[in-house]
């Protein structure tokens, strides 16, 4: 056994989260793609079967009341809230991340008020955020200004209405300074909108603490909700009575069953709802989130292990991979790192294909990036050592 393998064994033995791994359906594959799709929590299949066979199959329409289907978007939102540093009553679950970005960004421009006609967007953002920002700008009559996160403070002014930023860069894993950037946006009198897709469930966010106005995120990455599981929308409590969603639907009406021709928004985060909730995937997500409660997992412990895993992975890469063969594009500083490591490699697509063939699953981002995501709930140090060792073999 190599020194690094022996060290991995000791680190796993001392890991306070090691027991959580048993709450997931895993095999002998090293799964480092939880930043794209989380592993299946073991409690989900039984819950989904109950939802389908009993709640839908037997209770049918009665389940909207008797099984709590109608209140699921807010109830599950309250389960997510502690993981992103929010008090209850500010998160509603439903729709996709893209739809929620649209609701949040147009809502932000409306909150900003008259005289503000510019939307600032992260120029390095995940493509769909950029597409939606462009559409939102056209819809609201705003000018779109793409800048890098580092350029945001200098780009703000009295015309800025809203700023849309990613907490963690999906390519490089760079963690942006949410507190400082939110403060800068507020100092300019604008509204801050954050995309938490690559941070929620992997590291502390502090939405309430840092005064974030609006935030969105997916649930199928570090929250392990399943493929296409519904996203969520956070609306800060002090803004809820003024939040004007561009997608008003019967589910967000003050009297949803009144069937009135005139729209009157519901109170609170409920006004972020649109249409009928996607119950099957929503309740699968609810079951997945129970892992956090069952094992009493703290987001602080998750963050500590995430950094330890990525530190150890980088050490193993340095040891096993020939010098100069790959280059890390993920910041070394903990304060600037999310829960993934991205390695630049000229033949990254072919390398990842060969890694997967040998039981190490990460992913490839065009044109030359290998991405490895670390989900501390089920990834261990032995997994990390094996992944780096196999990478070294593959690239030689």
Residues taking part in catalysis: 126, 195, 220-221, 371
Beta-bridge partner residues of 217: 232
Q: Which residues of 319-333 are buried (b: 16+ CB within 10 A; e: fewer)?
A: ebbeeebbebbbeee
d(CA 236, CA 284): 26
Q: Which two tokens stand for residue 122?
A: 């992260």
DSSP secondary structure of 310-346: HHHHHHHHHHHSPTTS-EE-S-SSGGGB-SEEEEE-T
What kind and span of H or E run contains 165?
strand 160-166
Q: Which two tokens stand for residue 195?
A: 């995309």
Pair 171, 348: CB distance under 8 Å: no
Whose tokens are 């090691």? That residue is 18
Q: Which of 102, 64, 38 is nearest to 289 (CA)?
A: 38
DSSP 60: G
d(CA 239, CA 269): 10
Sign for the CA dihedral angle at 108, 110, 115, 119 comes to positive
Neighbour count for residue 365 (Cβ, 10 Å) = 15
Pair 11, 308: CB distance under 8 Å: yes
d(CA 150, CA 169): 12
Whose tokens are 């002090």? That residue is 238
SS (H, E, C) 250-272: HHHECCCCCCCCCCCECCHHHHH
Pair 38, 374: CB distance under 8 Å: no
């Amino acid at each position: 056994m190599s020194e690094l393998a022996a060290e991995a064994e000791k680190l796993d033995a001392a890991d306070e989260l090691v027991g959580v791994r048993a709450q997931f359906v895993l095999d002998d594959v090293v799964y480092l793609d939880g930043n794209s799709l989380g592993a299946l929590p073991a409690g989900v299949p039984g819950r989904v079967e109950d939802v389908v066979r009993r709640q839908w199959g037997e209770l049918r329409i009665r389940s909207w009341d008797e099984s709590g289907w109608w209140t699921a978007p807010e109830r599950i939102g309250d389960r997510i809230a502690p993981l992103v540093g929010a008090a209850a009553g500010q998160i509603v679950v439903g729709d996709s991340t893209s739809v929620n970005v649209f609701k949040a960004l147009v809502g932000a421009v409306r909150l900003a008020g008259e005289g503000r006609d510019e939307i600032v967007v992260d120029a390095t953002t995940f493509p769909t955020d950029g597409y939606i920002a462009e559409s939102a700008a056209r819809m609201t009559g705003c000018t779109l200004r793409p800048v890098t996160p580092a350029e945001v403070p200098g780009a703000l002014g009295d015309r800025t209405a809203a700023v849309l930023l990613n907490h963690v860069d999906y390519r490089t894993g760079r963690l942006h300074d949410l507190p400082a950037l939110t403060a800068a946006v507020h100092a300019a009198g604008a509204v801050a909108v954050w995309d938490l897709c690559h941070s929620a469930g992997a590291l502390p966010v502090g939405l309430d603490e840092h005064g974030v106005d609006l935030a969105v995120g997916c649930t199928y990455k570090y929250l392990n909700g399943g493929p296409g599981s519904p996203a969520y929308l956070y609306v800060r409590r002090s803004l809820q009575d003024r939040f004007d969603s561009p997608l008003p639907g019967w589910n967000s009406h003050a009297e949803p069953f009144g069937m009135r021709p005139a729209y009157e928004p519901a109170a609170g985060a409920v006004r972020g709802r649109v249409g009928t909730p996607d119950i099957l995937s929503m309740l699968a997500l609810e079951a997945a989130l129970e892992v956090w409660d069952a094992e009493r997992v703290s987001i602080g412990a998750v963050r500590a292990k995430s950094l330890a895993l990525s530190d150890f992975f980088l050490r193993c890469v340095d040891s096993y991979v020939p010098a100069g063969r790959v280059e890390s594009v993920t910041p070394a500083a903990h304060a600037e790192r999310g829960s993934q490591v991205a390695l630049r490699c000229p033949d990254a697509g072919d390398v990842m294909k060969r890694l997967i063939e040998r039981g190490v699953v990460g992913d490839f981002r065009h044109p030359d990036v290998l991405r490895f995501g670390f989900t501390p709930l089920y990834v261990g140090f032995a997994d990390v050592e094996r992944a780096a060792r196999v990478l070294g073999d593959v690239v030689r």
